[in-house]
Amino acid sequence: MKTLDFGKYCVLGLSPMDDITDMPFRTLCKEFGADLVVTEFIASEALNREAEKSYRKMQFGEGERPVGIQIFGADREELLRCLEVVEAREPDFIDINWGCPVRKVAGKGAGSGILKDIPKMIDITAALVRQAHLPVTVKTRIGYDEGDKPIVELAERLQDVGIAALSIHGRTKTQMYRGTADWSLIGEVKNNPRMHIPIFGNGDIVTPAQAVEARRRYGVDGVLIGRGAIGNPWIFEQAQRLLRGEEERPVTVAERAEVCSRHLQAAVAFKGERTAMFEMRKHYGGYFKGLPDFKQFRLPLVNTTTLDEALDILARIKAHYQ
């Protein structure tokens, strides 16, 4: 079986997010310092019926390595069947999503919904590890609800069936994305003397300083950044600088506009103009967060449906703030 030294490669990783962490955005995050990236989650059932969108989600560039393909599902046989398709793409590892809390996923017993049935979770994970020719990793949450947070014991059981690394989001399934991530439990997993696989923490990391503090305070092998990276690929570079004892560098408005333009053009080339223009709306707020007098550009940028018009607006933003 192929192996990967996660401890060597991952200090800062990009957390997978549906319709956000596609190949164009992952490529930018790698350019700006992300050590490890993972695809958007992909339904095993969709892969098995050869759905075009799901196949596109598996695409990645060589410059993204090490890169994982993340799969989800609730049916053991469906998940096992899709392994051949995933491994044919030759990622560096396969990640199982046991963490998504949204109703359309968790309500079917996939994602964090499986935290209601830990034996099933362990059984499926063990079967995938046995059949896979690549390292298998898991991303999950600390538990199902406030009264059910078994992550310390669960981490041991997942390790015992052979996963190569574990990523933990510090919320329960029922919390969704509300409240505060509990990093103390993530730290408890990492500092459990029985644990020897890499442990990555995730949740509420929106600044470079928070990424550095979480890694140092809780001793995790790596920190995954999700929402804090949306429209802000520089968060990885800035956190890497802090880890080296250097100061963050200022990112000019001109650079923001130029990188946003590159991102937009790459997204259009990858997904087509209609889909890319819609999905890029999620990134604009991050790219231009905190700019004074930005209202005159915000609505036109969000509402445009053509690449040429968006590029023109971005050029005007660059000129306006010089």
pTM of the model: 0.94
Terminus-to-terminus CA distance in the chain, angstroms? 53
If we measure between CA atoms, which residue out of 95, 81, 82 comes closest to residue 163? 95
- Cα separation of 173 and 37, whole Å? 23
pLDDT of residue 5: 76
What stretch of H or E contains 14? strand 12-14
**How far are the Cα atoms of 120, 209, 219, 248, 293 from residue 245, in angstroms, in the given order?**
45, 11, 18, 10, 34
pLDDT at 155 > cutoff 90: yes
pLDDT band at 4 (very low <50, low <70, confident <90, very high): confident
pLDDT band at 225 (very low <50, low <70, confident <90, very high): very high
Hey, is 282 helix, strand or coil?
helix
The pair of three-digit structure tokens given for residue 110, joined into one six-digit string: 């996939």
- Cα separation of 92 and 95, whole Å? 10
Mean pLDDT of the chain: 95
List, by residue number, the catalytic residues.
Answer: 100
pLDDT of residue 2: 67
pLDDT at 7 > cutoff 90: no
Q: What is the pLDDT of residues 156-210, one digit of tens each?
A: 999 999 999 999 999 999 999 999 999 999 999 999 999 999 999 999 999 999 9
